[in-house]
Structure 1
Amino acid sequence: MAIKGVIICKNEDSHLAAADIGWGEGIVVELSDSSDVKIGDTLSGLSRGYMVTPCYNETSQSVLTVTVLSGGLPMDAACEIVSNEFERIAS
């Protein structure tokens, strides 16, 4: 099942990001070194569970491949996993 998520926090050093998939849940993804994903970008085609998956950045209108590292987690836990040093989008 394809999931749409908004990047809420990101760690440039580890290339990890947390995407808000709704209902207070988030997933953790690993981005490639070359991906140009920013906080606030909407990614479609995400999934739950560990897998490499192509997705579409609706904000920059580009295709990228991410590694999904988690199933649905509480959003705060997903951001904590990404890092203590993340940029957080204003709510």
Structure 2
Amino acid sequence: MVRSGGFAGIERRAEADTAEDPALAALVSRSGLEADPPGRERRGGGDRFVYEIDLGGRRMTVGESQLTEPLRELVGHLFRR
């Protein structure tokens, strides 16, 4: 996952393997990204973040305003690692 945008425009990266992190596997399952990702948003706009998520080779871009609660938990988990 890559988070870009925001006020300073700093890019952050996080990577993990669901086979090694059961909590991550559960968060991915609850996120809904495997089946039907939220609408795409290319720009964060203003001071918003944009998340580029690669889930087993399937890539999607999700704007901060489109993060559901399960997606917020997933993002938080990855960045806490």
| Shared fold, TM over 0.5 | no
Q: Which has the higher helix share?
A: 2
For the pair shown, the structure with the greater C-alpha radius of gyration is: 2
TM-score by length of 1: 0.27
Q: Which has the higher strand share?
A: 1
